[in-house]
Amino acid sequence: MKPIQMVDLKNQYLKIKDEVDAAVHHVLDTTAFISGPECGEFERDMANYVGVSHAIGCANGTDALQIAMMALNIGQGDEVITTAFSFVATTETIAVTGARPVYVDIDPVTYNLDPAKLEAAITKKTKAIIPVHLYGQPADMDEILAIAGKYGLPVIEDNAQSIGATYKRQKTGSMGLISTTSFYPAKNLGCFGDGGMIFTRDSELAEKLRMIANHGSKKRYFHELLGLNSRLDTLQAAILKVKLPHLDGWAAARQEAARLYNENLPSDLVKIPAVKPDRDHVYHQYSILAENRDALQAFLKEKGIPTAVHYPMALHLQPAFSHYGFNRGDFPIAENAADHILCLPIHTELDAEQIRYVCDGIRSFYKS
């Protein structure tokens, strides 16, 4: 059996090496490293793929969230509602704008923001709602959008982990006023460095987003807005342009790996991912809930099985955000997930023998 890797970027690259190398060498030959033609071409490809009018490349997924909030004039004294269980960037960017993050606990089935608890978090200071499509499964967008519409609030979809997923036949990233994604290398659609993108159907908003990502400027040396230096460079755009046509096939490979996990894992001993029937899951992570999680992780490591914990601490308990006054017990479902979540290896190169070995290891731990 081949060694098991948490993510196998090398073998994925080798399968498309000729295409990628040709695209990179073309950029090297033209030396158009910033804002080369591949940037605009990839933006058009991504807008068409997601099903929106505008896609704006930027430096990373964190910048994408910050730029989205800057475009909506979110700042000091405002509140932004989001999930208590996600990567830190979701909260970090709210705090950087000067706004206060307001958390909602998660659905115990999907680990996404629970819309049944959303309305109670809205106040007169609320300026936006940021649901996260976590681990590859879409959030409950109909319910979230209905509540947001009732109060006239914009929705920013954090789609960093679920590019290509669908909710009621709509692509994630196509439903909010703005959506964002990340092209971090380990993502389902990853570049060879850092990269991100912002999406919208609103042409006026798209122009503002593009300006903010480029020093607040649409004409060189004339700066109408406070902006950032946040561009997706041409090399990354060229690589991503080659990889995009493979994305749906890679999602299918991840879904097949998840199916094999579901069939072979001891579901009486661990909680396997559940997928709601009106959406699909593209399995950026395959995440189980496990008792004695840390001991299980150590046991699997001894057997050559890598795992990861995404995420070991709910956002409201992170020290960087302690001044907001949240305490343990405020969002118990998110806290329970943080205490028990374990992400198993999943990627496009994983085979059935490796998956069975992982499942046998988990079974052995609980029977020992």
pLDDT of residue 368: 87
Please list, in sequence order, all residues whose beta carbon lies within 8 angstroms of the beta carbon of residue 98, skipping any fewer than 6 positions away.
75, 76, 77, 78
Contacts of 58 (CB under 8 A, 6+ apart): 64, 67, 195, 196, 197, 198, 213, 230, 231, 232
Task: Give the pLDDT confidence of 42-79 residue by residue, as tens digits.
Answer: 999 999 999 999 999 999 999 999 999 999 999 999 99
pLDDT computed for residue 20 by the predictor: 98
Q: What is the pLDDT of residue 92?
A: 98
Which residues have CB under 8 Å from 66's CB, separation 6+? 93, 96, 97, 228
What is the tens place of the pLDDT at every residue in 338-368? 999 999 999 999 999 999 999 999 999 999 8
Contact 221, 215 (CB under 8 A): no
Confidence category of residue 102, pLDDT binned at 50, 70, 90: very high
Q: Which two tokens stand for residue 173?
A: 């990233």
Q: Is the pLDDT of residue 219 over 90?
A: yes
Do residues 101 and 321 lie in contact, with contact meaning Cβ atoms separated by under 8 Å?
A: yes
Taking each helix axis from N to C end, the angle separating 247-264 and 352-367, rounded to the nearest 10 degrees, works out to: 30
Cα distances from 113 to residues 83, 121, 131, 133, 366, in angstroms, run 5, 12, 6, 9, 31
pLDDT score of 107: 98
Q: Which of 167, 131, 161 is nearest to 51 (CA)?
A: 167
Domains of the chain with CATH codes: 9-245 (3.40.640.10), 247-367 (3.90.1150.10)
**CB-based burial label for 165 (10 Å; 0-12, 13-18, 19+):** buried
Select from 1, 6, 59 the least CA-distant residue to 348.
6
pLDDT at 28: 98
The pLDDT mean for the chain works out to 98
Span 106-128, average pLDDT:
98
The pLDDT, as a whole number, for residue 245 is 98
Asked whether residue 122 carries a pLDDT value surpassing 90, the answer given is yes
pTM equals 0.97
Distance between CA atoms of residues 140 and 202, nearest Å: 22
pLDDT tens for each residue of 160-181? 999 999 999 999 999 999 999 9
Please state, in angstroms and as integers, the Cα–Cα distance from residue 101 to each residue in 88, 224, 324, 332, following that order: 12, 28, 8, 17
| C-alpha to C-alpha distance for 285 and 134, rounded to whole angstroms | 9
Q: Which residues contact 341 (CB under 8 A, 6 or more apart)?
A: 111, 287, 288, 289, 293, 309, 310, 311, 312
Q: In this predicted model, what pLDDT tens digit does every residue of 274-292 receive, in sequence order?
A: 999 999 999 999 999 999 9
Q: Are strands 196-200 and 54-58 parallel, antiparallel or unpaired?
A: antiparallel
- Quick check: 132 pLDDT over 90? yes
Say yes or no to pLDDT of 3 above 90: yes
Of the candidates 48, 49, 47, the residue with the CA atom closest to the CA atom of residue 57? 47
Q: Is the pLDDT of residue 89 over 90?
A: yes
Q: Which of 200, 227, 197 is nearest to 212 (CA)?
A: 227
Is residue 264 classed exposed, middle or buried when 0-12, 13-18 and 19+ CB atoms within 10 A define those classes? middle
Burial of 202 (0-12, 13-18, 19+ CB in 10 A): middle
pLDDT at 4: 98
Q: How many CA atoms lie within 13 A of 1 on its CB side?
A: 15
C-alpha to C-alpha distance for 252 and 164, rounded to whole angstroms = 10
What is the percent of the chain where pLDDT is above 70?
100
**Chain-centre distance for alpha carbon 320:** 21
User: Taking a C-beta distance cutoff of 8 angstroms, is the pair 103, 248 a contact?
Assistant: no
pLDDT for 79 equals: 98
DSSP 252-291: HHHHHHHHHHHHHS-TTTEEPP---TTB----SSEEEEET
Sheet holding 341-344, edge to edge: 270-271, 286-290, 341-344
pLDDT at 250 over 90: yes
- Which residues, listed in sequence order, are joined to residue 130 by a DSSP beta bridge? 82
